[in-house]
Amino acid sequence: MGKMLPLMEEFYTIQGEGYHKGTAAYFIRIGGCDVGCHWCDVKESWNAELHPPTSTKTIIENAVKYSNVIVVTGGEPLTWDMSHLTKGLHEKNAQIHIETSGAYELSGEWDWICLSPKKNEITHTKRV
Ligand code: SF4
């Protein structure tokens, strides 16, 4: 339901790619992905059960200590309902970006969406 999320790792760094390249941001990596790209460089993210279920409240309170730009990545974050996470981060006045394959429908409210379609999954990301 998105009130608890499998938190793989989180870290403060510089966005290294895309339109916001060079922007300091706090990254939240959410576990869980069944897209199965053979070139994936974070295969350890695939099994959500390997990553501790963490309350969105805890994730939010920690993230905003570091930056007001938050990048949610994975895994495939849209495996989960992102509504609670994005609502809470926006209440803290954070700017929220997502990196997604588009394999699942969009949930949550985002300030920036980085969509990277994969050849073995059609893109489902759409505003609902
Ligand atoms: S969608 Fe992303 S996390 Fe999932 S297998 Fe492909 S590259 Fe890896």
Distance separating alpha carbons of residues 94 and 97, to the nearest angstrom: 10
Domain membership of residue 31 as a residue range: 4-115
CATH number at residue 87: 3.20.20.70
Give CB contacts under 8 A, 24+ apart, made by 38-43.
42/74, 42/75
Q: 121 in a domain, yes or no?
A: no
Decide if 39 is inside a domain. yes
Q: How confident is the model at residue 117 (pLDDT cuts 50, 70, 90)?
A: confident
Ligand 1 contacts CB of residue 75 (under 6 A): yes
Is residue 126, in this structure, part of any structural domain at all? no
pLDDT tens digits for range 2-24: 899 999 999 999 999 999 999 99
Flag whether the pTM goes above 0.85. Answer: yes
User: What are the tens digits of pLDDT across the range 14-58?
Assistant: 999 999 999 999 999 999 999 999 999 999 999 999 999 999 999
Bridge-based pairing of strands 95-100 and 112-115 is parallel
Mutation test residue for ligand 1: of 38, 45, 72, 114, the one with most atoms within 8 Å of CB: 45
Cβ 99 under 6 angstroms from ligand 1: no
User: Do 53 and 30 contact (CB within 8 A), yes or no?
Assistant: no
Is there a domain that residue 128 lies in? no
Q: How far apart are CA 61 and CA 92, in angstroms?
A: 9
